[in-house]
Structures are given as structure tokens and as C-alpha cells.
């Protein structure tokens, strides 16, 4: 985060898929960094049951008291749950198949407001009237007569985007309906298909399987990651996934991917 100049103060919600160390061991340094930088806002942690015990035990034995409050939100990974909702987004868990209870996360934007066409605005229009127009309604007078028709001053809202993050999982067709047609799917691709037996033993996926899931779910774009250290040439993993789903890219740290809206 420091390398890419991302402020930890902007983080209010953290989602942990499962309690294998590579998915949460970096959390304590982050929590203490927030503390040292005088964070005051509450921090919400979503995870399978147990993360609260892990963190509170470390705080207890280091005799540490954070400047801010941590609010734990344990969930059951074996079933899909609504984890978070506000005026802009809905976040659900996605049951995955792994050695530990594990879940992915589905992020869906709600419908966005209509867009005001500035060139069509009339002098003297009030701010509250613009808010009403963005909400999709006409402006009425006291008698209920239309003063300003919505379609004369607005255009369609930007498309709402969706992102499915599926971390450690074996071949898991049961999630296809839930992630259907998402704009972006991150799916682990730990092994090449030549190492399918190893993938099945460790409950991971091959690059070919990741591509097949993306194809069956009719997603728009696939990112693959969580590569085994045995592979020095990630291009082999990319080409294997592309054989099933052409619009695939490697999830490399620092890379930026832009979605059309």
C-alpha cells in the first residue's frame, strides 16, 4: 500500500476469505500502522469465525490498546450471506471449496443516479430540483403539474459494475449462478492443468478450470492469480486460461484494470 501511495485511513471495511495465514497474517501490521497514524474511525472486519480470537489474543499479550474500535462481523462461509449494504453497493459472500471454510465476495453496485445534462439546465433551477431529477423524477408544482420533465434534463445513469473475488477454491461450478455475467471475475489459478492431481489434493484450481468457470458464468473479464511458486513463467498459466476464456489477464501486483461503465 505504501509503494502505491494508498492511504490506510481510507479503509473502513476489510473482508477475509479464510484463515490460512497467507490471507490474514498481514493484518496485524496494518492494524498497528493505523494505530500509529492516529486512526479514530471504526474499522469493520468480515471473516469466518476465529479472526476475532486471533486479533484479540495478540492485543492481549502485547498489552496493546488501539486508538480506534474494531467491529468484527463473523459469517458462515458455507452459505451465501448478505454481508454489507449501503446506498451504493451490495456485498455478498460466495461459498468456495477449500481445506478450510472459505468464501469469496461478490460486489455489486446499485443503480446509479441519472446524469444531469448541464447544457440543458435553466437559470434559477434549485439544488433540490436537481437532486430530484437525478433520482429520476419530474419536478412538480404545488398543484402536481409538471414544471420540468426529467427526460428533458437528464440522460441514462452510468452502468452499475460488479466484481466477484474467488480466492482459494477447488473446481466449484455451484457458484456459477451467483457470479453470472459479472463485469470482472478474479479466480485463483494455482496450478497448470498438467498438475490437476496436485490441485485436487490441495483443493485449488488450475488455470484451465478458472477459464472454464469464467466461460460458464459468461463473465466479461477474468483475472487469474494465486500462482504456485513452482511456475517461473506465468505466461503458461495465462495461455492455458485463455484457451478456455480469451479475455483473461494475470493479476500482477501493481497492475491496473479499467472496466467500461
Neighbours of 60 (CB within 10 A): 9
C-alpha cell at 16: 477475509
- Which helix (H) or strand (E) segment holds residue 213: the answer is helix 207-217
207, 233 contact by CB (below 8 A): no
List the Cα angle 75/79/81 in 5-degree steps. Answer: 55
Q: What gap in Å lies between CA 162 and CA 90, rounded to an integer?
A: 10
**DSSP letters for 168-191:** S-SS-GGGTTTTTT-SEEEEE--B
204, 168 contact by CB (below 8 A): yes
Q: What gap in Å lies between CA 193 and CA 195, rounded to an integer?
A: 5
**Which region, left, alpha or beta, applies to residue 146 given φ > 0 means left and ψ of -120 to 50 means alpha?**
beta
- Residue 22 a catalytic site member: yes
Residue keyed to cell 494508498 = 6
Q: What gap in Å lies between CA 165 and CA 27, rounded to an integer?
A: 19
Q: Annotated catalytic residue: which of 22, 42, 236, 261?
A: 22
List residues bridging with 187 in a β-sheet: 166, 224
C-alpha cell at 88: 451504493
Name the nearest CA neighbour of 17 among 90, 91, 69, 88: 91
Residues marked active site are found at 22
Amino acid at each position: 500500500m505504501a509503494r502505491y501511495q494508498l492511504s490506510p485511513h481510507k479503509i473502513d471495511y476489510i473482508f477475509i476469505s479464510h484463515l490460512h495465514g497467507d490471507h490474514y497474517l498481514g493484518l496485524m501490521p496494518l492494524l498497528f500502522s493505523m494505530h500509529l497514524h492516529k486512526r479514530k474511525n471504526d474499522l469493520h472486519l468480515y471473516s469466518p469465525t476465529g479472526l476475532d480470537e486471533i486479533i484479540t489474543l495478540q492485543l492481549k499479550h502485547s498489552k496493546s490498546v488501539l486508538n480506534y474500535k474494531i467491529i468484527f462481523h463473523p459469517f458462515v462461509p458455507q452459505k451465501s450471506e448478505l454481508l454489507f449494504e449501503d446506498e451504493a453497493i451490495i456485498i455478498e459472500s460466495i461459498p468456495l471449496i477449500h481445506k478450510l471454510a472459505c468464501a469469496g465476495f461478490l460486489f455489486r453496485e446499485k443503480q446509479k443516479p441519472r446524469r444531469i445534462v448541464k447544457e440543458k439546465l435553466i437559470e434559477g433551477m434549485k439544488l433540490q430540483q436537481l437532486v430530484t431529477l437525478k433520482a429520476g423524477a419530474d419536478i412538480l408544482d404545488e398543484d402536481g403539474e409538471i414544471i420540468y420533465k426529467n427526460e428533458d434534463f437528464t440522460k441514462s445513469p452510468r452502468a452499475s459494475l460488479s466484481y466477484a473475488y474467488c480466492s482459494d477454491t477447488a473446481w466449484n461450478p455451484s457458484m456459477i449462478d451467483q457470479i453470472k455475467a459479472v463485469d470482472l471475475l478474479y479466480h485463483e489459478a494455482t496450478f497448470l492443468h498438467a498438475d490437476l492431481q496436485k490441485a485436487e489434493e490441495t483443493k485449488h484450481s488450475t488455470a484451465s478450470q478458472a477459464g472454464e468457470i469464467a466461460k460458464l458464468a459468461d463473465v466479461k473479464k477474468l483475472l487469474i492469480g494465486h500462482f504456485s511458486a513452482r511456475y517461473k513463467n506465468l505466461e503458461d498459466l495465462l495461455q492455458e486460461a485463455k484457451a478456455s476464456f480469451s479475455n483473461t489477464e494475470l493479476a500482477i501486483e501493481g497492475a491496473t484494470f479499467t472496466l467500461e461503465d
